[in-house]
Structure 1
Amino acid sequence: MGAALAEAGAKVCFADLNADQAAAAAATAPAGTAIPACVDVRDRASVRATIEATVEAFGRLDVMFNNAGINRPMNFLDVTEENWRGIMEVNGLGCLIGMQEAARRMIAQGGGGKIVNTASIAARQGFDNVAPYCASKWAVISLTQSGARDLAKHDITVTGFAPGVVATEMWEEVDRDLMEIGAADRPGQAMEEFSAGILKGRVARPEDVTGTTTFLASRASDYMTGQIVMIDGGMTLV
């Protein structure tokens, strides 16, 4: 989504826990439009430093995407406290910290702003082998609604989007993890089964998502707040 924003004229900070991946992503943007940053979304100081670096490079923060997320499938009865905490700290706490720190910067500089959170189809329906992930994405929806109510007085909108099955490295990793816990018998089976009910008849490509994310970052969505946009090809109807 960062590349799509840069193409649309935005100046973007590509932030990742992996510094090399952040740098590689920033290098794909037009010259002078992007910077990389290494960030741990679980650590408030790290998030704050990333925001400060963005403001130093570009002058202000207008849009914050809370997109960091992990998933470690485990059969429901095998879910451990470590598994639960690890997922919730990144997907839930990380989202909260990102929202808070972005909002504080936006309030300080004036002029409102936009916060966009990444939810999931798993936020609308629980799945047996990824219960902590589902719970974490339900948390993202609740945080989006709570943030929208609290930050409206500062002219800050808070929205989110919920992708379905997207052909990305994360889904490939989930596919492998499900095989390891015995929830799938062969490579690709999990993605096939999850996507069988997609009305559009195929899994999503990243470009199927970026049109919506760019819209949520733009002035065209100024009158939208507290809402989650489903981008799942019709897999989950709510």
Structure 2
Amino acid sequence: MSSSRRVAIITGAAEGIGRGIALRLAKDGLDLGLFDLPRSQQKLEQLAEEIRKEFGVRVVNVYGDVSKEEDVKRLVDTVVQELGSLWAMIANAGISVNRVLHETSAEDLDKVINVNFKGTFFSYKYAAIQLIKQGKGGRIVGASSIAGKKGMAGQTVYSGTKFAIRGMTQSAAIDYGKYGITVNSYAPGVIDTPLMGYLDEYHTSKSGQPKGSWTKSVGLRW
């Protein structure tokens, strides 16, 4: 199936920043491939239906795990098959496990690296393969963070992965510019998302402070 509309993939699209990106790109008239974990199916289906009704664009939902290479390849293949092409990959999916370095387990280390760094890597990789094949340029965008520009207390591994995404993005931009493909990352500050609620709960349980106090202390703007 082909369309004159540009097509964008957003990973981690069911809620938070990914959901906001999906709504904005739909408003701008792009067809969308939305990707999230199977447990987010209800939220993603509701989002897709909202987008179809309000903006009249086509939406394809795909479920899987960005940390698994075969899932990301399947994501790109499915979206291209259903919507005809690819123009932009928004590698938004990410997680955080907030611990100081010496309290971070190997399991948590692997979990954050697998989702944040490997998941972004795989998203860049299969988007680049498809965009180069099409020969019409395109956009690749990844989620860094304010913690990818400056280290933050209790975020050793998270911050490390977000710094890594910046380095990968800059290198990929050099490699793919000759194909008309731009590669950029965005670095949000503290945003009111479910992830931020999880982090607030963790920090306030440790400090004994009221819920919401941690997010306010790091500059959340309601």
Give me the TM-score of the superposition, normalised by structure 1: 0.79
* C-alpha contact (below 8 Å) 2:65/2:71 kept by paired residues: yes
Q: Which digits, 9 at most, give the CA deviation of each residue in 1:171-206, with x for residues without a partner?
A: 1111012223x14622011111100xxxxxx626xx
CA distance in 2, matches of 1:187, 1:75: 21
CA 1:160/1:184 → structure 2, altered by over 3 Å: closer, same or farther? farther
- 2:143 corresponds to 1:81: no
Alpha-carbon distance in structure 2 between the residues aligned to 1:104 and 1:148 = 14
8 Å CA contact retained: 2:101, 2:157: no
Identity %: 27
Q: Which residue of 2 aligns with 1:203?
A: 221
- Is 1:23 aligned to 2:45, yes or no? yes
Matched, 1:187 2:211: yes
CA RMSD in angstroms comes to: 1.4
TM-score for the superposition, normalised by structure 2: 0.84
The residue number in structure 2 matching 1:58 is 83
* Cα deviation, residue 26, structure 1: 1.3
CA distance in 2: counterparts of 1:51 and 1:86, whole angstroms: 23
Indicate the larger mover: 15-24 or 63-72: 15-24
8 Å CA contact 1:72, 1:177 repeated in 2: no
Answer with 185-194 or 91-100: which moved more.
185-194
SS in 2 for 1:57: helix
Aligned ranges for residues 1-238 of structure 1 at < 5 Å?
Answer: 1-17=21-37, 18-30=40-52, 31-180=56-205, 182-183=206-207, 185-195=209-219, 203=221
- What is the one-letter code of the residue matched to 1:193? S
Q: Distance in 2 between matches of 1:191 and 1:26?
A: 30
Number of equivalent positions: 197
* Per-residue CA distance 1:50-81 (angstroms, 9 max, x = gap): 11111112110000000000011123321111
CA deviation profile, 1:116-168 (whole Å, cap 9, x unmatched): 11111000111121211100100110111011011112111101111101111
> Is there any run of 5+ residues in structure 2 with no aligned partner, and where?
1-20
Q: Secondary structure at the match of 2:90?
A: strand
Q: Equivalent residue of 2:209, what SS?
A: coil
How much has 1:32 moved relative to structure 2?
Answer: 4.4
* 1:46 to partner: Cα distance: 0.7
